[in-house]
């Protein structure tokens, strides 16, 4: 519609006039008296501006004067600088932007340009004279912008739904009567903007649609699958729809259907009839009654226009009518305007907002406007004339600057979600917004958006809510279809779209929206010089071509966000006019240096380009840069020296770029910064942060990290008084205090101090932060006075006070006083009090906790409540039922919680109940169709129901762990898709489980295809999956799950191939088990060179069909498995190695004989870089004798070998013996058939440790063991028929540790052993019941420090072993018989007495052990008297009494143990008090009481607590 173009032209001319006025106002001295020319031009433009306004007025009723675009090219378009004609409005904008440059161009050139411009203006003047247009007054006053401080009075959508309640009920009743049909089609018809879509939204989900069968099919598929569908074949679309819709009821809205071809409508109906068992309800909205009559199964419903009174109601709401002083004067005028809206809600809304800032005379002008008199509008169906007229009226009344901003939105596709922050930067880059002396571009942009929202030319798009997230910039907008039509009509000859034919009529496009970034731009249009904005959509599968944009010399905006960028072309440097560039995910290590020649560039995003190693050294030349996003460019180490010259930067994002050094040297000069993000997904260390104090304009500061945060100080914060967002969260922080002037941040809305566990108190000024909306103080366990700080923070919507495990000190309860404050926080939507109750009350009563939760239950807006891990929580009061908005209730880990209130079953808003770790029996869980429990979610479906309960997870706010079991009960892929698993970024660990052998409703692969986990996932397990292969996202986990650390695939019986897990950059552990369809593991799992860069553990369990394991990487360009530590192959009886194994530090082979005898095809050594020695454990491999264990020759040098339950070990080949020559430790276990030791044992001359376990037929040690002269440790365990040790054992002079266990026939310890084993330190005799006594010359073992002796049939003589320091006696029949020998143990410092059942009192000799420091008495069931003996051990420092039930008291003389530092009493139920003398133990530091109910009760009294006040560390636990 050309008249709309004229309106836009007038808007641009207004801007041109201002530019010329500015140029004249400057001191310009040019040849040929250019200043005079400028004045003349200004006068001419003013005249043209007035004439264009007259054209607007006349064009409404007179088609003859409508403005037309001349067929000729725009004059003065050479050199990349366009001038103006009468018709192409945005060409004027380009020309306008040239005006300020006149002052700096060469004088002669300027003179020539001025001459050309005068000629152009003369031609324009002649054109309007030929149309007999004249300058005239405006018929409608431009909108006046409200004051920036004015509070918005825009009413929410629900409040503006007027007069449609009856229609809603009629439609729902009509549908209910026909729900048994396979397909039900109900058309709702009426004129555009009347409210059809709004009514449809009230009933079902909205699916935006224009008629094209393939597009409709793909749109439905996209809506159901939550991902873009680009299917091209009709049959493919029908098949996919059949799969998506099969077996369930689905409701679809087809909005704004225009197709009147009956055959096309029949094809549409056929496409939606997918199967007999599906129930498809189609709600159609259309403006055409004929279409409704051709496409229905239920009688179409005509949506009648609103009454004039209803339109007047809407206008009053949108215009804030009730608050006006002149409302009585305006009442009649307003009612007359309402009649002109023709019952259309959209018209009433737009007109209403337009009127809100107008005077009474302006209202009259609107009422009397010629626009209402329109009788015919080209290309527009006549029933919609007045709807478009009202929108045109609103558009024409816009200020000139607003028209440009609105018209640009035509570049977005219909139904597109527009990101607010990006839109603002695009407006600025295209020159639509210029900073004034009063307002910044940001402030002006906010004004413009507010205006467009008020006029309903933009609408807020409902995005998924994230509880507690405060981020104003991430706001989405959309446009009503009719409004979008107006924008496209305004820009009809300005935007090049894919559906337009190649330019053959001389049209010069200024904007392009294309879907092929590989095809050269020349093939799209021959007028490249005029393209100012170019964006590509839906072409991520195509690699960016240099020719896609290189010819666009006038480009100001280039959006490559949906392209695949292998390398940014050098031609980017030729785009000298470029202001806005998005080029994410560049896969090259460098970006071209020529990018720094883009000196006009204001907006640059290279986010996600993790391959980039450095920025160009000359980046400082980009002095106009205001926005720079380098998030996830994690390999950048240094910033160029010139970076500090980017002094116009307003927005800088360095998130996940924590390796950059010397930030302070560059960032301290960027004093214009408003937004700074330095957050990290790992550690964040900023040794110098004082430079941040220079950034006084900061509004957003993010210094958070997912690990350790190291900041020397944050004293600079008090200077940043404009901050609105501050994030200092971490897992652990060394931050110890906040600045006293923190309260000066009075604009602060978001504050996170999570993990700041060293901060003790908040500054007194904290209470001044009255504008806080989001406050996170989680894991601040040392912080006191939190309740006092919360006082007055009435705007809070998100509050997290959750705490970690820790000891509770009654004198340090950081949340005491919270119940008195919590009730005032009535705006809360999210409240997390995990593990907080103990810190509020200490030891509360049920009444206290019920009252506290009762206060919380008054919060009418609360959606998420976390009371998890509160071990003192015994019940939940019925008052919680008052939380009508509550969606999630987390009670997990509240171990004392035994019952739940009945009201939970009646809370329809409640969808998620987490009771993991509670005492609740299943019978006590609330039974509800809309409620489920976490974190173990069991998928189930009732008999006859069309869907499972899985969709209940869609809006759930989840913890770190989620397990979904019985996934075979999922009834459609839509159910799996609906939960939007990929968006649940709180999940770290995910288990997906199908029941093996159970019937499926949907193939497992199709379910898994829709369950893409979030990229934050670190642990992933799939169990019971029965499909043969995996969906595409699993085969591309390197991109989808970059943070994955552990993956388990268990019980996948049919799967015959593996994803390329080797490309997961952080994978540390992989377990594959019971995958009986898998025959080979080879290069497919590696996915390319350098596989498994961080893998430390690789487990193969029960892979019964696996035959080959190949570690080859044919490329051999990078090392595989460089960090592998553990390789385990268990119960894989068929598998053989095809190549040399990786150098894992520990190998374990169980029930997998063929691995040991594998014949390696060829030498291959690049599997790993490590040359570290290995440890090998072989278990239950009985089929292959040891001389065939070829694997030993291909492992790194072994130091540790453990062989258990294997076959013939008697001999080994020379090659195998050489492979064992480096052994230092050998364990031979459970070889119960061997009567002798292996012959090769004596060859292991480096052996230092030998353990022989379970050699039940071994009578004596072989002589070849005498060669093991390096042996330091010998363990003989379970050699039951061995009667004595050999004489030559004494020759092993290096032996330091000797352990004899379960030698029931051993009756002689050779005296020679005592003469020669002088290095022996510990000696252990366990269950050697027949050994009568220790050798007489045991005293010669002068190095012996530790002796353990137990289960003797009679007491052994211990005398003479005076050097023993640690003695353990277990099961001795009578300790009194040791009186004489024990007195000689003068060096004894530690004594353990276990299971000495005959001991009723402590032996006398115990008091004579003057060096004893540690005494432990355990399981001595008859001990009932500690007597005075205990009190004589004055050197005692530690005393432990465990499971001695007959002890009733401790000696009164306990106070004499002046050296006692530690006292532990465990399961001594007879002890009910401590002696009064406990107060004399001034050195006692640690008192631990465990499972002693009487003593614990004594301990908890106030009087007795004072007696123990001197003890630093005290703990009392009722149970383990």
Q: What is the pLDDT of residues 803-854, one digit of tens each?
A: 876 555 545 667 888 888 888 899 999 999 998 887 787 666 778 888 889 8
Q: What is the per-residue pLDDT for 382? A: 46
> Over the stretch 1172-1182, which tens digit does the pLDDT of each residue have?
568 999 999 98
Does the pLDDT at position 1219 exceed 80? Answer: yes
Residues 6+ apart with CB under 8 A from 691: 663, 664, 667, 668
Residues 6+ apart with CB under 8 A from 151: none
Q: Secondary structure of 1442-1488 in the HEC alphabet?
A: ECCCCCCCCCHHHHHCCCCCEEEEECCCCCCCCCHHHHHCCCCCEEE
* pLDDT, average across residues 482-511: 71
Residues 6+ apart with CB under 8 A from 726: 701, 717, 745, 748, 750, 751, 752
Residues 6+ apart with CB under 8 A from 158: none
Q: What is the per-residue pLDDT for 723? A: 94
Q: What is the per-residue pLDDT for 217? A: 77
The closest of 1176, 1063, 1158 to 1113, measured between CA atoms, is: 1063
Q: What is the per-residue pLDDT for 248? A: 58
Q: What is the per-residue pLDDT for 1059? A: 92
Q: What is the per-residue pLDDT for 154? A: 32
**Block residue for tokens 């009418």:** 860
> Over the stretch 1028-1084, which tens digit does the pLDDT of each residue have?
999 989 988 887 898 999 999 999 999 999 999 998 989 999 999 999 999 999 888
The token pair that represents 1452 in the structure block = 């009164």
Q: Using omega within 30 degrees of 0 as the cis cutoff, is the peptide bond preceding 935 cis? A: yes
* DSSP-assigned letters across all residues of 561-592: TTEE-SS--GGGGG-TT--EEE-----SS---
> Over the stretch 289-340, which tens digit does the pLDDT of each residue have?
667 777 777 777 777 777 888 889 888 888 888 888 888 888 888 888 888 7
Q: What is the per-residue pLDDT for 36? A: 61
8-state DSSP, 812: B
Does the pLDDT at position 801 exceed 70? Answer: yes
> Over the stretch 1384-1404, which tens digit does the pLDDT of each residue have?
788 899 999 988 888 888 888
**Block residue for tokens 């007035």:** 50
* pLDDT, average across residues 37-43: 62
Residue 479, beta-bridge partner list? none
Tell me the pLDDT band of 75, cut-offs 50, 70 and 90.
very low
Q: Of 43-52, 196-205, 927-936, 1143-1152, which range is least confident?
A: 196-205
- The C-alpha R_g of the chain, in whole angstroms, comes to 41
Q: What is the mean pLDDT of the chain?
A: 77
> Over the stretch 1345-1388, which tens digit does the pLDDT of each residue have?
778 777 555 555 565 677 888 888 888 767 776 766 777 788 89
Distance CA 1421, CA 1398 (A): 8
Does the pLDDT at position 232 exceed 70? Answer: no
Tell me the pLDDT band of 1247, cut-offs 50, 70 and 90.
very high
Q: What is the per-residue pLDDT for 1188? A: 92
Burial of 926-950, coded b for 16+ CB within 10 Å and e otherwise, reads beeeebbbbbebebebeeeeebbbb
Helices 196-203, 165-176: crossing angle, 10 deg rounding: 60
Q: What is the per-residue pLDDT for 1101? A: 96
CA distances from 752 to 730, 798, 864, 1159 (A): 9, 11, 18, 60
**996 phi/psi in degrees, rounded to 5:** -65, 130
Q: Which of 86-100, 371-385, 1225-1239 has the highest mean pLDDT?
A: 1225-1239
Share of residues in the chain with pLDDT > 70 (%): 72
Q: What is the per-residue pLDDT for 308? A: 82
Share of residues in the chain with pLDDT > 90 (%): 23
CB 868 within 8 A of CB 893: yes
The closest of 946, 874, 1215, 1023 to 179, measured between CA atoms, is: 946
Q: What is the per-residue pLDDT for 539? A: 66
Distance CA 990, CA 911 (A): 20
Residue 12 vs residue 274, higher pLDDT: 274
Phi/psi zone of residue 302: left (φ > 0), alpha (ψ -120 to 50 degrees), beta? beta
Q: Which of 222-231, 845-854, 955-964, 1416-1425 has the highest mean pLDDT?
A: 1416-1425
Q: Which of 35-44, 188-197, 488-497 has the highest mean pLDDT?
A: 488-497
Q: What is the per-residue pLDDT for 466? A: 36
**Other Cβ atoms within 10 Å of 267 Cβ, number:** 15
Q: What is the per-residue pLDDT for 463? A: 43
CB 1252 within 8 A of CB 1279: yes
Q: What is the per-residue pLDDT for 677? A: 92
Distance CA 198, CA 349 (A): 13
Residue 1242 vs residue 386, higher pLDDT: 1242
Q: What is the per-residue pLDDT for 1079? A: 94
Q: What is the per-residue pLDDT for 1017? A: 92
> Over the stretch 1137-1174, which tens digit does the pLDDT of each residue have?
988 888 888 999 999 999 999 887 654 444 444 445 68
Does the pLDDT at position 7 exceed 60? Answer: no
* pLDDT, average across residues 735-753: 92
Distance CA 410, CA 533 (A): 12
Distance CA 1110, CA 1155 (A): 12
Does the pLDDT at position 15 exceed 70? Answer: no
The pTM (predicted TM-score) of the whole model is 0.57
Half-sphere exposure of 194 (CA within 13 A, CB side): 27
CB 1207 within 8 A of CB 1235: no
**Block residue for tokens 């300027």:** 110
CB 892 within 8 A of CB 918: yes
Q: What is the per-residue pLDDT for 274? A: 67
Tell me the pLDDT band of 275, cut-offs 50, 70 and 90.
low
Tell me the pLDDT band of 724, cut-offs 50, 70 and 90.
very high
> Over the stretch 1289-1341, which tens digit does the pLDDT of each residue have?
878 888 888 888 866 667 666 555 666 777 788 887 776 755 555 666 666 67
Which run of H or of E encompasses 21? Answer: helix 2-25
* pLDDT, average across residues 50-77: 42
The token pair that represents 741 in the structure block = 């002037």
8-state DSSP, 416: P
**Residue 737: burial class (beta carbons within 10 Å; 0-12, 13-18, 19+):** middle
Does the pLDDT at position 1243 exceed 60? Answer: yes
* pLDDT, average across residues 913-921: 73
**1340 phi/psi in degrees, rounded to 5:** -70, -15
Q: Of 9-13, 253-257, 599-603, 771-775, which range is least confident?
A: 9-13
The closest of 611, 434, 625 to 15, measured between CA atoms, is: 434
> Over the stretch 392-407, which tens digit does the pLDDT of each residue have?
777 877 888 888 899 9
Question: Which alpha helices (DSSP H) does 1071-1146 contain, by range?
Answer: 1083-1086
């Amino acid at each position: 519609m050309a008249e709309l173009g004229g309106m836009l032209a007038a808007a641009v001319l207004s801007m041109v006039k201002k530019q010329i006025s500015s140029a004249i106002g400057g001191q310009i001295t040019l040849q040929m008296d250019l200043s005079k020319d400028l004045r003349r031009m200004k006068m001419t433009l003013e005249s043209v501006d007035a004439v264009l306004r007259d054209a607007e007025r006349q064009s409404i009723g007179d088609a003859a004067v409508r403005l037309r675009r001349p067929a000729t090219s725009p004059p003065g378009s050479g050199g990349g600088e366009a001038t103006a004609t009468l018709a192409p409005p945005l060409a004027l904008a380009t020309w306008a932007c040239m005006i300020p440059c006149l002052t700096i161009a060469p004088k002669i050139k300027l003179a020539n340009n001025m001459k050309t411009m005068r000629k152009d203006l003369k031609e324009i003047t002649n054109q309007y004279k030929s149309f007999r247009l004249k300058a005239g007054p405006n018929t409608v006053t431009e909108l006046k912008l409200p004051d920036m401080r004015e509070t918005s009075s825009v009413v929410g959508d629900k409040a503006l739904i007027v007069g449609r309640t009856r229609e809603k009920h009629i439609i729902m009743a009509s549908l209910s009567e026909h729900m048994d049909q396979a397909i039900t089609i109900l058309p709702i018809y009426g004129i555009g903007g009347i409210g059809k879509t709004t009514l449809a939204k009230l009933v079902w989900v909205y699916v935006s649609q224009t008629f094209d069968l393939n597009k409709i099919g793909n749109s439905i598929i996209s809506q159901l699958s939550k991902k873009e569908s680009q299917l091209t074949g009709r049959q493919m679309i029908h098949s996919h729809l059949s799969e998506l819709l099969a077996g369930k009821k689905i409701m679809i809205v087809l909005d704004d259907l225009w197709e009147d071809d009956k055959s096309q409508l029949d094809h549409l109906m056929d496409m939606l009839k997918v199967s007999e068992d599906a129930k498809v309800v189609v709600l159609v909205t259309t403006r055409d009654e004929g279409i409704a009559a051709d496409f229905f199964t239920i009688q179409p419903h005509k949506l009648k226009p609103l009454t004039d009174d209803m339109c007047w109601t809407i206008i009053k709401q949108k215009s804030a009518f009730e608050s006006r002083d002149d409302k009585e004067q305006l009442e009649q005028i307003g009612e007359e305007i309402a009649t002109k809206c023709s019952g259309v809600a959209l018209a009433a809304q737009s007109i209403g907002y337009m009127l809100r800032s107008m005077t009474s005379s302006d209202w009259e002008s609107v009422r009397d406007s010629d626009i209402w008199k329109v009788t015919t509008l080209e290309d527009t169906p006549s029933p919609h004339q007045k709807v478009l007229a009202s929108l045109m009226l609103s558009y024409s009344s816009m200020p000139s600057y607003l028209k440009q901003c609105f018209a640009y939105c035509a570049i977005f596709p219909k139904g597109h979600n527009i990101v607010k922050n990006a839109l603002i930067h695009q407006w600025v880059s295209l020159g639509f917004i210029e900073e004034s002396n009063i307002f910044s571009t940001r402030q002006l942009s906010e004004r413009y958006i507010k205006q467009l929202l008020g006029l309903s030319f933009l609408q807020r798009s409902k995005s998924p809510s994230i509880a507690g997230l405060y981020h104003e910039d991430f706001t989405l907008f959309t446009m009503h279809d009719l409004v979008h039509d107006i924008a496209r009509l305004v820009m009809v000859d300005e935007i090049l779209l894919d559906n337009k034919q190649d330019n053959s009529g001389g049209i010069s496009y200024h904007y392009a929206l294309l879907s092929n970034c590989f095809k050269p731009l020349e093939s799209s249009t021959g007028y490249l010089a005029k393209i100012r904005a170019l964006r590509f959509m839906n072409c991520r599968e195509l690699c960016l071509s240099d020719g896609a944009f290189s010819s666009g010399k006038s480009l100001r905006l280039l959006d490559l966000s949906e392209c695949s960028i292998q390398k940014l072309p050098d031609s980017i440097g030729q785009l000298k006019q470029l202001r806005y560039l998005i080029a994410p995910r560049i896969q090259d290590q460098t970006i071209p240096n020529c990018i720094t020649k883009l000196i006009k560039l204001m907006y640059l995003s290279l986010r996600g380009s993790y391959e980039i190693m450095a920025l160009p050294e000359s980046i400082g030349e980009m002095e106009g840069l205001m926005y720079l996003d380098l998030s996830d460019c994690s390999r950048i180490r240094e910033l160029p020296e010139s970076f500090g010259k980017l002094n116009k930067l307003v927005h800088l994002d360095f998130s996940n770029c924590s390796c950059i050094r010397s930030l302070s040297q560059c960032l301290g000069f960027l004093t214009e910064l408003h937004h700074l993000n330095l957050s990290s997904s790992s550690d964040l260390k900023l040794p110098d942060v004082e430079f941040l104090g220079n950034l006084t304009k900061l509004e957003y500061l993010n210094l958070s990290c997912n690990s350790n945060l190291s900041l020397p100080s944050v004293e600079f914060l008090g200077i940043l008084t404009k901050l609105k967002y501050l994030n200092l969260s971490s897992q652990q922080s060394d931050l110890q205090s906040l600045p006293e002037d923190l309260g000066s941040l009075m604009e602060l809305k978001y504050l996170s101090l999570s993990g700041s566990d060293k901060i003790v108190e908040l500054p007194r000024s904290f209470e001044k932060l009255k504008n806080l909306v989001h406050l996170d103080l989680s894991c601040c366990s040392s912080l006191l006075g939190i309740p006092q700080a919360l006082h007055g923070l009435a705007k809070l919507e998100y509050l997290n006070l959750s705490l970690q495990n820790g000891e509770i000190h009654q004198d340090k309860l950081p949340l005491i006083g919270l119940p008195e404050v919590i009730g005032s926080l009535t705006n809360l939507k999210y409240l997390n009090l995990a593990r907080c109750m103990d810190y509020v009350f200490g030891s509360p009563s049920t009444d206290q906790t019920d009252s506290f939760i009762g206060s919380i239950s008054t919060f009418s807006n609360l959606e998420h409540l976390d009371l998890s891990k509160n071990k003192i929580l015994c019940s939940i009061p019925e008052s919680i039922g008052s939380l009508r908005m509550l969606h999630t209730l987390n009670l997990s880990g509240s171990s004392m919680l035994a019952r739940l209130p009945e009201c939970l079953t009646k809370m329809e808003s409640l969808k998620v109940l987490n009771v993991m770790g509670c005492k609740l029996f299943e019978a006590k869980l609330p039974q509800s169709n809309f409620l489920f429990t976490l974190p173990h979610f069991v998928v189930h479906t009732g008999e006859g129901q069309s869907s499972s309960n899985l969709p209940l997870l869609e809006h759930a706010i989840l913890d770190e762990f989620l397990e979904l079991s019985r996934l075979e009960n999922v009834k459609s892929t839509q159910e799996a898709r609906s939960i939007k698993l990929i968006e649940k970024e709180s999940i770290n660990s995910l288990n997906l489980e199908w029941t093996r052998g159970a019937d499926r409703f949907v193939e497992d692969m199709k379910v898994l295809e829709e369950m893409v986990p979030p990229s934050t996932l670190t642990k992933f397990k799939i169990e019971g999956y029965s499909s043969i292969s995996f969906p595409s996202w699993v085969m591309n986990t390197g991109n989808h799950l970059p943070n994955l650390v552990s993956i388990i695939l268990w019980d996948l019986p049919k799967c015959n191939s593996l994803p390329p897990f080797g490309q997961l950059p952080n994978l540390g552990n992989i377990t594959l088990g019971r995958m009986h369809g898998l025959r080979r593991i080879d290069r497919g799992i590696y996915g390319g060179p350098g596989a498994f860069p961080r893998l430390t553990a690789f487990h193969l369990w029960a892979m019964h069909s696996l035959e080959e394991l190949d570690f080859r990487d044919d490329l051999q360009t990078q090392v595989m498995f460089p960090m592998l530590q553990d390789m385990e192959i268990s119960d894989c009886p068929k598998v053989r190695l095809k190549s040399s194994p990786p150098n894992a530090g520990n190998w374990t082979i169980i029930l997998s004989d063929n691995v040991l005898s594998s014949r390696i095809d060829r030498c291959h050594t690049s599997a790993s870089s490590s040359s570290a020695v290995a440890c090998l454990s072989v278990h239950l491999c009985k089929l292959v004798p040891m001389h065939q264990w070829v694997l030993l020759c291909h492992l790194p040098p072994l130091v540790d070998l453990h062989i258990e339950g294997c076959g013939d070990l008697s001999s080994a080949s020379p090659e195998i013996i050489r492979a064992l020559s480096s052994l230092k430790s050998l364990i031979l276990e459970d070889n119960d058939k061997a009567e002798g030791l292996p012959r090769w044992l004596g060859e292991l001359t480096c052996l230092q440790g030998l353990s022989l376990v379970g050699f039940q037929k071994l009578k004596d040690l072989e002589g070849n063991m005498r060669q093991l002269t390096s042996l330091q440790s010998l363990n003989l365990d379970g050699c039951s028929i061995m009667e004595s040790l050999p004489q030559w054992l004494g020759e092993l002079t290096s032996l330091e540790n000797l352990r004899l266990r379960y030698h029931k026939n051993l009756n002689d310890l050779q005296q020679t052993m005592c003469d020669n084993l002088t290095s022996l330190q510990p000696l252990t005799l366990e269950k050697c019941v027949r050994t009568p006594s220790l050798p007489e010359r045991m005293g010669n073992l002068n190095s012996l420090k530790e002796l353990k002796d137990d289960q003797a049939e009679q007491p052994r003589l211990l005398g003479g072993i005076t050097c023993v320091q640690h003695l353990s006696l277990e099961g001795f029949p009578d300790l009194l018989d040791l009186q004489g020998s024990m007195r000689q143990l003068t060096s004894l410092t530690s004594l353990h007495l276990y299971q000495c059942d005959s001991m009723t009192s402590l032996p006398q000799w115990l008091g004579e052990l003057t060096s004893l420091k540690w005494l432990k008495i355990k399981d001595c069931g008859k001990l009932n008297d500690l007597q005075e003996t205990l009190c004589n051990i004055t050197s005692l420092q530690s005393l432990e009494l465990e499971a001695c039930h007959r002890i009733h008291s401790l000696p009164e003389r306990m106070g004499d143990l002046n050296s006692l530092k530690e006292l532990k009493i465990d399961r001594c139920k007879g002890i009910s008090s401590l002696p009064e003398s406990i107060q004399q133990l001034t050195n006692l530091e640690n008192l631990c009481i465990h499972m002693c109910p009487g003593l614990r009760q004594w301990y908890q009294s106030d009087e007795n607590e004072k007696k123990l006040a001197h003890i630093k560390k005290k703990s009392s636990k009722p149970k383990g």
